[in-house]
Amino acid sequence: MQIWPGQSYPLGATFDGVGTNFALFSEVAEAVELCLIDADGSETRVPITEVDAHVWHVYLPAVQPGQRYGFRVHGPYDPASGHRCDPSKLLLDPYAKAIEGMATNHPSLYSYDFADPAQRNEEDSAEHTMHSVVVSPFFDWGNDHPPAHEYHDTIIYEAHVKGLTMTHPGIDESIRGTYVAMGHPVIIEHLKSLGVTAVELMPVHQFVQDGHLQEKGLRNYWGYNTIGFFAPHNEYSYAGQVGQQVQEFKQMVKNLHEAGIEVILDVVYNHTAEGNQMGPTLCFRGIDNASYYRLVEDDKEHYYDTTGTGNSLLMRTPHVLQLIMDSLRYWVTEMHVDGFRFDLASTLARELHEVDRLSAFFDIIQQDPIISQVKLIAEPWDLGEGGYQVGGFPPLWSEWNGRYRDAVRDFHRAEPGMLAEFSSRLAGSSDLYHHSGRTPIASINFVTAHDGFTLRDLVSYNERHNEANLEGGNDGESHNRSWNSGAEGPTDDEAINALRLRRAKNFMATLLLSQGVPMILHGDEMGRTQGGNNNSYCQDSEIAWMHWELDEDQQEMLDFTRQLIALRKAHPIFRRRRFLQGVVRDGAVSELPDVAWMRADGQLMQDADWNDGLNKCLTVFLNGSAIPEPNARGERVIDDSALLVFNGSGNGVDFTLPPAEYGEEWTVVTGTGDVLAIGERIPAGATITRPEFSILILGRKHTEPSAPVPGAEAPADSIACAVDRPARARAEHATAVDGAAPEPGRA
């Protein structure tokens, strides 16, 4: 075998069309061996003798794509000093582009003896661990290009590759649960017919099956246990061939892009699958433990953990920052993804102890010409002190808005004193984001996500029912802000089932008509249930998978969701680029404010009304003629106006429509619990009775001002007819959204 010195950059295994360069960072290593693994498991060890700036490197002209490999790192094993080198453990390449196999829960993976942890365990791990794979970087992308949807036009669909596709009758059983299935025409057609613009895939970086779950016969379904930050998870591959998951992932992205759907990855850079000091040695721990992980300052045998998983990556180490940035850049440039959602992102901001929004991680992302241009979404909390940082991230970022979730859940279960908070969330949460110069797109609005109840379970259960997780029902969130609508779980009571469907529609309508960026949990549009399990992280089973055979109520929920998405996409007033102000806007063609908040009697809300804890009713006027700035094409945006009528109480309430100055006549667009027909016209000042827990959406077509506005662009659709026209036709008429001034409004 020819062995050449190679190059110290790039890190990882890089095939150049002839041979492969290998480069590994380790500051603590005293010697490093590259281990080439044959098909029969035999191992050829190649000593790496070249090292520059702590990067060990070698070039092998004969090594081609498909070659399995790993490293053995010789150096100090001194846990008290933070060092855990162990050459008896075959280690993954931190930069591996593909990984084969799955680690078993075998004692050889651990550097200590189970019977006596103070004793070393030097049993070789090669037969029981995973192997890195050399991959070819070449792929025919054709004319693939990012859909590049503007943020304010974005509708996110949180999905699980396996859970979404595992039971679809239109997909052959042999490919269900894979990247091939995710890019299948029937899945893409569902997403297109729904109208979403982006899928946010739960973790697809290579992850590890937890030992304690394997012992119980369970599996890590969610995937928040990453070990390979460059490698697509191999269990989602259809072909089962070495390294094939890379090609299949790229084809999935290409198919989704062709349909105009962006791909956002849920990424876990805050910790790794190696856990705490009692965890296995798979990769980083054996390469350079003290450089990769945060250790307790005066007790380096233990890990400083703000994630609840046993360890946290050390974000002030240049090589950890480089690892993350190289990974992000790789997924954008080589895998063509369109953005990232960062799990427990507050941990990434911790350089020492406190959360620092100006930490090095945010600085380097801000200046990066590639990563700074894709969608960046933070889960703005972790388990450490000061970790809840909703509203605290830099202007480049959007955030999962946990306060939106909580306020909307509480309002729609008739909790007292929620009206002001609910209104602020409906209007885009300017109180959280305006102070840092951000706009409504900073708020990723969601009512449900993978972590917690599904939407159907939110209206069907008061308590979690997690017995199948085999943790005594003690895992998962106990304070869900849910209400079972009158009975716990499934029931034959038609009135309760009707109320549940109505309330689920209320949540969906609120989500899709709020300012900000909506995110729908996959299956919520079809009434998916997990039987009350609000922590399905270990349920790779029928409990968590999506089911495609719909009953009448589920079909009605799907149709309603499609209508609301089409309404949002057709009308800029529901997806504004700037915060509402509640005043008459300079430059607008209307003498009315851009938004008005009204009581049930049709009069404007006063301070006493906002402070009335028993007030659970609200009418919101959205003025389509009060968008003062032009769209991206330089055209004045003029939209229809809308009234959103919310009865969040458990009683029927008489609502009086606002006086004629807001519109002489309104048309029923859609609603929940309705006794009104779609298309019915209601005059200004009329009184209508709205059932308990209901929403009504009314529209008023824009009327031209007495003097035409030069260059004005009026919508081709009126709100009144938007739900009756095909979604694709509506999308063709959607306009860019306003550019109103950034001052925050009353809400």
Residues carrying an active site annotation = 343, 379
On the CB side of 90, CA atoms within 13 Å amount to: 22
Residues with Cβ within 8 Å of residue 491, at least 6 apart in sequence: 497
CA distance linking residue 22 with residue 196, whole number of Å: 41
> In 19-162, which ranges are E strands?
20-25, 31-37, 43-48, 50-52, 55-60, 68-74, 77-78, 83-84, 98-100, 131-133, 156-159
Token output for 87: 């050459």
**224 φ, ψ (degrees, to nearest 5):** -85, 55
CB 183 within 8 A of CB 255: yes
- Rounded to 5°, the CA angle 279-240-45 comes to 55
Distance of CA 652 to the CA centre of its chain: 37
Amino acid letter, 322: Q
Token output for 519: 């995110």
CB 711 within 8 A of CB 634: yes
Q: What is the DSSP track for 317-348? A: SHHHHHHHHHHHHHHHHTT---EEEETTGGGG
> In 343-476, which ranges are E strands?
375-378, 398-400, 443-445
CA distance linking residue 419 with residue 424, whole number of Å: 9
Helix axes 318-333, 360-367, angle to 10 degrees: 40
> Peptide bond preceding 185: is omega within 30 degrees of 0, i.e. cis?
no
CB 63 within 8 A of CB 134: yes
Token output for 492: 């034959």
Q: What is the DSSP track for 493-546? A: -HHHHHHHHHHHHHHHHHHHHSSSEEEEETTGGGT---TT-S-GGG--STTTS-
